[in-house]
Structure 1
Amino acid sequence: MFRISQYMRELAKAEKTGCYPQVCERQARGPVVIWNLIRRCNLTCKHCYALSADHDYVGELSLPEVFTVMDDLKGFGVPALILSGGEPLLRPDIFDISARAREMGFYTGLSTNGTLIDRPLAQRIAQAGFDYVGISLDGLKPTHDKFRRLDGAFDRSLAAVRFLGEFGVKVGLRFTMTAMNAHDLPNLLQLMKDEGANKFYFSHLNYAGRGNIHRDKDAHHQSTRAAMNLLFDRAWADAQAGCMDDYVSGNNDADGPFLLHWVRQHLPQWEAAMAERLTRWGGNASGQMVANIDNLGHVHPDTMWWHHDLGCVRERPFSEIWNDTSDPLMAGLKQHPRPVEGRCAGCKYLAICNGNTRVRAQQLTGNPWFEDPGCYLTDEEVGAASTPFEAPASRSSSSRTSSRITRSRSPETDHA
């Protein structure tokens, strides 16, 4: 997750004091865990990475099994649990799980579509003491209802935001941008202000994309750049005004270098300090400080790697699975620098973005270390040229076609 507002507040303080602030961040021993406790969902969204449906799924972790895993996570130093699904509020014991998480000292977030939250349930969520509740909105009413495949979904989710606000719950809006909803972003940002939401999480679509493309002319990348500039400008205005609302982004660690370009343009005196700050941030954390456990107990490098199974917590503790680098993918993800190829290998910002989101390259090429097709910076900006991609001969045309789309919901790493 890329904390846009945090960096903007630091820049605002630097402008005020004449010195970039020293930031001491507590380093957790273990990763943030996004836990898909249930796969069932009352919606069938177009961009769901879990491919959920409104029926029960066999073999999901029982409450005693969940508690056993939580004990291991605590001992491993995991600082935060993001309880997700499917729709986690469909799990009957969700409040037992959240209560245990809070008792154990985990930062506890809830990721929900919001459509089930009426006033009584909002009150119960508030009483449960969740640190944060994220609600997905894919646009204004026409767009959102189309994405969620349910008429009235927008009204119900917006009502949930208001009900939670009544009870003092920290609530944020989550938005996954695609070509079909990018036009709604400015209005959603205004909606955030109008409704008093505390946070806006902007998720890049974790799409497989295209191979060797002209990034300076690609419509998707131009739309992404415009969206990020809008978020940067909004966050900078808020920081200058002393507003503590948060804008964060995820699923594209090119946001770090792109912010550095924004600073170079608007506040060049702080470029060197920001470059050092972003290098300490370190970019993509999949397989390092972000982890996923699915509803059956299988562990993945993050929520977008459901097709890559590292092991099951029913067979081995999470802590053992996470530290096992016999899996080539995990070995590479934990390596520094990562063994990236193509223009990523020659990119001057590799120390900032850490090679970006590897799953896009893997979905497109079968090679997780190929250059990330989702990077929206130009070859000139990164100081390296794109590498033409040729599909491996062993892969059939049908497999190449099926790998071009990675289903993606806004991932629940917006945990603070």
Structure 2
Amino acid sequence: MDATVTRKVLWRLVPFLMLCYFVAFLDRVNVGFAALTMNRDLGLSAAVYGLGAGIFFLGYFLFEVPSNIILEKVGARRWIARIMITWSLVSASTAFVVGEWSFYAVRFLLGVAEAGFFPGIIFYLTNWFPSEQRAKVVGTFMMAIPISSVIGSPLSAWIMAATDGSHGLAGWQWLYLIEAAPSFLLGFAVLAYLADRPEDAHWLDAEERGWLAERIARDRRERVQVQKISLGQALIHPRVLGLSLVYFGVSTGLYGIGLWLPQIVKDFGLSTLQTGFVTAIPYMVSAVGMVLWTRHSDLKMERTWHVVIPAVVGGLAFAAAGYAPSPTLAMIALSVAALGVFSAMPTFWTLPTALLTGSAAAGGIALINSIGGLGGFVGPYVIGWVKDVTGQFSLALLAIAGFMIAAGLLTLVLSSIGAGTRITHSPAE
């Protein structure tokens, strides 16, 4: 029954959640393509763009934990639907920013609207898949990130080129309006499609529902010593904070490349449409590599080194990209850097889900994602500031390399602290 039920759950949930995350990430980072002409139209400097692109994560940081705690109480189906509908409306409104401050405001509100989406889905998946399958499942789900860029990069470039000037709107304005529509529609689809728990899954028969619910409950009990503490204590637990810093370092690389790669590639002397196709290359490499890497992690049931190796290698590749003597070598290095980022991230998420259960999982995963997500603020801003000061990307990519390598080394340190202990929320304390 194990393989049959797992296959049913996998095919029912993961493709749909991938589609939701695909449009989420597209709405989050399409600002990188819009910037190819938006910055000129609005008079935004590289530093202003970097700050605005990254300020998304300040709103995300402030509302992540409350959002995920609400999700755990009201159910993923209703809360994820609310998140998607809200963020689609805010994302579309980016088409009407008129300058620096309105750009900052809309990006901040987009972070507020989307807060809780990614960690909510990570928490949601722990209700459906046991720990030994999670790296593969999370890795498959997170393929939506590179796929969104493989498809979204040339698509965004084409939309901007094809719609520029239509009905008095610039191509970058149409980009925001068109790419917000799928999120709005999918928000309503979530209400009809998702079930909160195995017990609610009408697409499984009664025996399968009972077996899966018991399998997940047994997974939470076995192989670990449970440390019961208050939710507040869980949020300041040293390992939770340490994992937040690891994710901070990896996120710096993810959003440093995600929000600036189109402009780095455009500096090679390419057209907007050419930039769209070339930008997709690192993500194509990453989509394949992250699946193979996470499956290898599940096969070996090893997590630490499957985070450390890609984080360190990715960091070294960022450094190499900044000083590559030709565009071809720079793209090879950036592809390796992206592969490192996307291979480290899904395996990383097996660490907090193995550590935390119950309300501690909802709050702790959200905290890790929110603090870690601040790397999405630091990465784009550092690149923009250094680009304004030096006129080139080399030193900025070197700084991103440092964050990635530090994340890998910190993972090694944390692996020796409190291994085998799981943290759960005890309301009585």
Same fold (TM over 0.5): no
Which has the bigger relative contact order, CA under 8 A and spacing at least 6? 2
Which protein is richer in helix relative to its size? 2
Which protein is richer in strand relative to its size? 1
